Structure 1
Amino acid sequence: MPGRYSVTFGEIELLRDLDRPGGWILTKDGVPQSYVDLDDPTYLDFEYVRLMADVIDALPEGPVDAVHVGGGACTLPRYLAATRPGSRQIVAEPDAGLVQFVRDQLQLKSVPRLKVRILDGRSAVTALYDDSADVFVLDAFSGAVMPVELATVEYMADVARVLRDGGTLLVNIADGKGLAFTRRVLATVHGAFPHVVLLAEPGVMRGRRFGNLIVAASVRELPVDTLARRAAGGLTQARCTHGKALVNFIAGAAPIREGQPVVAPVPPASVFGD
């Protein structure tokens, strides 16, 4: 089962976690993409995935209807199915070969009430009904770069259409020095969702090193005290920025609109080096 495999858009490699019998790491074109533990779907190895799970865990108890743009090995859908039984989930992933591989090799068929659609993020959202989701997770990357077309004013308006009143948007951003792209994404999200929180490890939040930042947003107030406490108490000891501090962080950055020549940041080669 470990090895390199060709999929629709590139090559993946599946690596075994020698420390956990059920643990598997999926990389795509050399970039770590997903970690899953087939024996324990609640085990989350990647720091940014744990931060997204912290947000979901802070929401009211019970099953949810969730949409995930970006599939990989479906780490978060597995987590959500385990921690909120009865949840209905849709995953949009354009790489049909990758989806088939995950179904065959990583037990994706065992996840209850999960539908996978072979669609890109734009097409998938367009096809969704109004007010149909409680949680919307945007974790889509081409290699290690976020598709800019999924970070526009127009796309966020469509996401807002799909989310129910009080629903929560989660966005995974990768950025580095200065965080200029993150500020623009935040300005874009804030235009559609008045309540926004940014979560990241302190070094990444300060723009000192390249890494992942998690945006949580809603038309309703978010449980910021709970999120700040969980972020500070986790293994990563992440920071939680919101309110006036977030407005100051955005600092007049312009929202991203369709057709603008915006380039998402590319990580330095050292990020994924040995």
Structure 2
Amino acid sequence: MSARLAHSDLLARIRPDGYSEHGFALDVGGVEQSHVDLEDPTVIRHEYLRRIAHVVDTAAEPGAPMHVLHLGAGALTLARYVQATRPGSPQAVVEIERELPGLVTSALPLPRGTDLEVRIGDAAQELAATGADGSARSGGRGRFDVIVVDVFSGQSTPAHLTREGFFADVLGRLSERGVMAVNVGDDAGLRFFAAQARALDAATEAAGLAGAWTLADEHLLRSLDEGNLVLAAGPGLERSRGADPEGLRERWLAGGPHPAAVLDPAETSRLISAIEEDAHGSRPAPRPR
């Protein structure tokens, strides 16, 4: 199945993954964006999504329902994961491509019992319309326990979704146990990642939080190679770390995928500074990915 996406004018196509009869991939513009295992939604192929799933699991005890907001739909891989691991969790997704959620759910039905509200629009605008207490457009369910930011237009992240003000709005919609996870795709040198991490770090400081964690492939961080990194922040991480200072790192490292690296807020800050020092001079400014 396929559909032309009006906002980006790209072709979205759902195809068998070539590995199993119940595995499917979503391609947008000829690039694989998401993967779904219809038989077992806890199977997550893309490494960065597996790291985000570990962050999601931090927000509550195993099996406990959570209120989750997904900024960016993809193939609804994480929404399926949440329903499979935490049945009955109220979820919402914001997607700017009007045709995409219908294509995905028609070709790849959601697990039975999934409670998912679909909103079409710009992620920042829809987040602002939610209201500081999460009540407007969220069924009166209060603030979100998890907000996942995985937003692309074509192959780029819209610039206004990479700035301090946007991250401040995301943090402001989190519950006391809430966590946010941001997917950052970047070229070698990781300059765009550094800019985005710096913006999130500033937003956490303004919110009275310690800063942002980084989850990524160990080799990627050592070589500053191209790839995907996950930034994580929120009051839920502060509470978890307060009870067990090394517990978060150990848990996320153990979860993989391997080789895994987990940087705490202080280490993330040092990485940002190292990237900025390396990039100092006449190199082009970072571009959204």
| TM surpasses 0.5 | yes
SS at 1:251's partner residue?
Answer: helix
Partners of 2:285 and 2:114 in 1: how far apart?
A: 39
Per the alignment, residue 212 of structure 1 pairs with: 228
Residue 45 of structure 1, CA deviation? 0.5
Residue 54 of structure 1, CA deviation? 1.1
SS at 1:127's partner residue?
Answer: helix
Per the alignment, residue 229 of structure 1 pairs with: 250
After TM superposition, list the pairs within 5 Å mapping 1:79-118 onto structure 2: 79-108=81-110, 110=112, 112-118=114-120
Residue 225 of structure 1, CA deviation? 3.1
Per the alignment, residue 212 of structure 2 pairs with: 196
List alignment gaps of at least 5 residues for structure 1: 254-260, 267-274
SS at 2:11's partner residue?
Answer: strand
List alignment gaps of at least 5 residues for structure 2: 134-142, 277-283
Task: Specify whether residues 40 and 209 from structure 1 end up closer, same or farther in structure 2 by C-alpha distance, changes over 3 A only.
Answer: same
Report the more deviating stretch, 192-201 or 37-46: 192-201
Per the alignment, residue 195 of structure 2 pairs with: 184
Per the alignment, residue 139 of structure 2 pairs with: none
1:29-83 C-alpha deviation (Å, 9 max, x unpaired): 0221110111111110000000001112233211111111000111001101111
Partners of 1:249 and 1:208 in 2: how far apart?
A: 10
Task: Specify whether residues 123 and 111 from structure 1 end up closer, same or farther in structure 2 by C-alpha distance, changes over 3 A only.
Answer: farther
Task: Specify whether residues 232 and 157 from structure 1 end up closer, same or farther in structure 2 by C-alpha distance, changes over 3 A only.
Answer: closer
Task: Specify whether residues 50 and 226 from structure 1 end up closer, same or farther in structure 2 by C-alpha distance, changes over 3 A only.
Answer: farther
- Displaced runs of 4 or more, over 6 A: none
Partners of 2:151 and 2:113 in 1: how far apart?
A: 20
SS at 1:68's partner residue?
Answer: strand
Residue 230 of structure 1, CA deviation? 4.0
Aligned letter for 1:235? P
TM-score, scaled to structure 1: 0.86
**Does the Cα contact within 8 Å between 1:66 and 1:87 map onto a contact in 2?**
yes
Aligned length: 258
Q: What is the RMSD computed on CA atoms of the aligned residues? A: 2.3
Q: 1:15 aligned to 2:15? A: yes
After TM superposition, list the pairs within 5 Å mapping 1:1-274 onto structure 2: 1=1, 4-8=2-6, 9=8, 10-61=10-61, 62-108=64-110, 110=112, 112-131=114-133, 132-193=143-204, 194=209, 195-220=211-236, 221=238, 222-223=240-241, 225-233=246-254, 234-251=256-273, 263-265=286-288
